[in-house]
Structure 1
């Protein structure tokens, strides 16, 4: 049987962030990831960008990072508010780790359409 290149779709498909190569997450899985960020004591932040600029290094921040936030519903509410304000933009959540001064997690919650 000849070798079949199964990487073709992957190479031409734009992937976004940590979970970009996986099927879209359910709402419960998204909540679990945000809850994990909060449980680690990381600071959640929300960013957005038009799909044409998604591969840029910097996305626009939605408000300030949520320093000391422990309420999952507050973070989810802000994600939804950002999506309502910018319905055509990608919206992602990041978890900033103060100790390592880096992102501990980052994933796209809403994918915008051009």
Structure 2
């Protein structure tokens, strides 16, 4: 297993912290974020947007941006809400969730904007 990569992350270095699966990959561009939102919508999941300060990102509590977007299928409307949250809280991480009504859990969760770290 010598080709396994060790991700150097620590509580002392906020830039090194990993959050979800996608955080181990390079940041997504606008088209990749759109594709993820299309996937969430195609599954019938409800988009939800959350944000938090980078120092608190490893905790389980993130602030909810408005209510989940129950039944929303317009990708552009979801993108606009993500951008509005990012504009309102530019120093915070912003994550998008796809809430699965049937399983009553998050079917998808990804940080789409990283806030400033000190």
Does 2:56 correspond to 1:53? yes
Cα deviation, residue 24, structure 1: 1.0
After TM superposition, list the pairs within 5 Å mapping 1:10-29 onto structure 2.
10-12=7-9, 13-29=16-32
Q: Secondary structure of 1:19's partner?
A: helix
Shift in alpha-carbon separation, 1:5–1:66, aligned structure 2, 3 A: closer
Within 1, Cα distance between the matches of 2:20 and 2:99? 15
Unaligned runs of 5+ in 2: 10-15
Does 2:84 correspond to 1:87? no
Within 2, Cα distance between the matches of 1:43 and 1:83? 19
Shift in alpha-carbon separation, 1:109–1:40, aligned structure 2, 3 A: same
Deviation string 1:54-86 (CA, Å, 9 cap, x unpaired) is 001010000000000010011000000000000
Aligned length in residues = 110
Cα deviation, residue 4, structure 1: 9.2
Within 2, Cα distance between the matches of 1:4 and 1:71? 42
Does 2:91 correspond to 1:110? no
Deviation string 1:91-110 (CA, Å, 9 cap, x unpaired) is 00000000111110000110
RMSD, aligned CA: 1.5
Unaligned runs of 5+ in 1: none
Within 2, Cα distance between the matches of 1:6 and 1:21? 11
- The residue aligned with 2:12 is none
Q: Secondary structure of 1:105's partner?
A: strand
Structure ID, larger Rg: 1
